[in-house]
Amino acid sequence: MRALARCDLWYSDKMSGREDMGIKRILSRGDKDSESSRLRSILLKVIKNELTPRQKEIIMLYYFKGADIADISERLGISQQAVYAAMSRAKKTIYGILKYYI
């Protein structure tokens, strides 16, 4: 935990917070209305077709498997900063495309 706190001092992910909750809400299985279903379908296509294999893996572990940054870092054998960076780039790609549908 201490390493993560030190990491936060020099790395900033501007895509966390409200945007992160938006992705989680779109992906939640509780949304059954047609608009949520459409956004979920678009989001899944963006993940599948527009992200790099590493970004896909990190996004899938974080949003679908519920893994935290430390766990993803350990599983993939990369630094937590590398996980943050890949997630940030993936989120920017996702929002760069989703902004046309929202």
Q: What is the DSSP string of the chain?
A: -HHHHHHHHH---TT-THHHHHHHHHH-TT--SHHHHHHHHHHHHHHHHHS-HHHHHHHIIIIIS---HHHHHHHHT--HHHHHHHHHHHHHHHHHHHTTT-
Residues 3-34: pLDDT tens digits? 444 444 333 444 456 667 778 777 775 556 78
> For the chain, which domains are there?
33-102 (1.10.10.10)
pTM value?
0.74
The pLDDT of residue 78 is above 50? yes
Average pLDDT, the chain: 81
